[in-house]
Chain A
Amino acid sequence: MILSIASGKGGTGKTLVATSLALSLGKQVQILDCDVEEPNVHVLLQPTIVQSKPVCIPVPKIDKAKCTYCGECAKVCAYHALAVVKKLVLMFPELCHGCGACSYLCPAKAISEEGRKMGVVELGYAGEIEFVQGKLTIGEAMATPIIREVKRHIDPTKSVLIDVSPGTSCPVVEAVRDSDFCLLVTEPTPFGLHDLSLAVDMVKALGIPCGIVLNRSGGTYNRVEEYCLEVGIPLLMRIPLDMEIARLYSRGVTLVQGMPEWRDRFLELFHTIEQIVAEHRQVRT
Chain B
Amino acid sequence: MKEIVVLSGKGGTGKTTIVASFAVLAKNKVLCDCDVDAADLHLLLKPEVKETHEFRSGQTAVIDEKLCTRCGLCEDVCRFEAIKDLKIDSTACEGCGFCAHVCPESAITMEENLAGHWFVSDTKYGPLVHARLGIAQENSGKLVNVVRQNARSIVQKEGFEYIITDGPPGIGCPVISSLSGANLALLVTEPTLSGMHDLERVIGVCRHFGVQPLVCINKYDLNEDNTHRIESFCQEQGVEVISRIPFDNLVTEALVNGMPVVEYSRNGVSHQIEAMWHRVHKSLGKE
Residue of A nearest to B78 (CB): A99
Residues on A with beta carbons closer than 8 Å to the beta carbon of B181: none
Q: How far is the CB of A22 from chain B (nearest CB, A)?
A: 16
Which of B9, B37, B40, B193 touches A168 (beta carbons < 8 Å)? B37
Contact, CB under 8 Å: B172 / A138: no
Using A40-B194, A190-B256, A194-B43 as known contacts, say yes or no to A143 and B79 having CB atoms under 8 A apart: no
Residues on B with beta carbons closer than 8 Å to the beta carbon of A278: none
**1/0 contact string of B135-157 vs chain A (CB within 8 Å):** 11110110000000000000000
Using A38-B169, A136-B172, A221-B256 as known contacts, say yes or no to A9 and B12 having CB atoms under 8 A apart: yes
Which of A105, A139, A170, A190 touches B255 (beta carbons < 8 Å)? A190
Q: Does A12 contact B (CB under 8 A)?
A: yes
Which of B8, B43, B77 touches A191 (beta carbons < 8 Å)? B43
Q: Does A252 contact B (CB under 8 A)?
A: yes
Residues on A with beta carbons closer than 8 Å to the beta carbon of B204: 138-139
Count of chain B residues with a beta carbon within 8 Å of a chain A beta carbon: 63
Using A38-B9, A97-B94, A194-B43 as known contacts, say yes or no to A105 and B101 having CB atoms under 8 A apart: yes
CA distance in complex: A11, B36 (Å): 17
Contact, CB under 8 Å: A202 / B135: yes
CA distance in complex: A208, B147 (Å): 31
Q: Does A15 contact B (CB under 8 A)?
A: yes
**1/0 contact string of B33-48 vs chain A (CB within 8 Å):** 0011110100100000
Using A141-B173, A165-B170, A191-B43 as known contacts, say yes or no to A173 and B136 having CB atoms under 8 A apart: yes
Q: How far is the CB of B190 from chain A (nearest CB, A)?
A: 8
Residues on A with beta carbons closer than 8 Å to the beta carbon of B59: 78
CA distance in complex: A140, B171 (Å): 8
Q: Does A54 contact B (CB under 8 A)?
A: no
Contact, CB under 8 Å: B193 / A251: yes
Which of B38, B77, B226 touches A195 (beta carbons < 8 Å)? B38
Q: Which of B36, B92, B194, B197 has the most CB of A within 10 A?
A: B194
Contact, CB under 8 Å: A104 / B12: no
Q: Does B176 contact A (CB under 8 A)?
A: yes
Contact, CB under 8 Å: B79 / A9: no
Taking CB atoms and an 8 Å cut-off, the chain B residues in 169-192 that contact chain A are: 169-176, 190-192
Contact, CB under 8 Å: A38 / B96: no
Using A11-B10, A76-B101 as known contacts, say yes or no to A167 and B94 having CB atoms under 8 A apart: no
CA distance in complex: A35, B247 (Å): 26
Can you pick out 6 interface pairs between chain A and chain B where the beta carbons lie within 8 Å of each other? Answer: A38-B194, A99-B94, A141-B141, A165-B170, A166-B170, A219-B256
Beyond A44-B193, A99-B98, A169-B138, 19 additional contacts (C-beta under 8 Å) are A9-B38, A10-B169, A12-B11, A37-B170, A37-B172, A43-B193, A101-B97, A138-B208, A141-B176, A166-B170, A168-B136, A170-B137, A177-B91, A190-B40, A191-B16, A191-B255, A201-B135, A250-B222, A251-B226
A-to-B contact residues, CB < 8 Å: 8-12, 15, 35, 37-38, 40, 43-44, 76, 78-79, 97-101, 104-105, 136, 138-143, 165-173, 177, 189-191, 194-195, 198, 201-202, 205-206, 219-221, 243, 246-247, 249-252
B-to-A contact residues, CB < 8 Å: 8-13, 16, 35-38, 40, 43, 59, 77, 79-80, 91-92, 94-98, 101-102, 110, 133, 135-138, 140-141, 168-176, 190-194, 197-198, 201, 204-205, 208-209, 222-223, 226, 247, 252, 255-256, 258
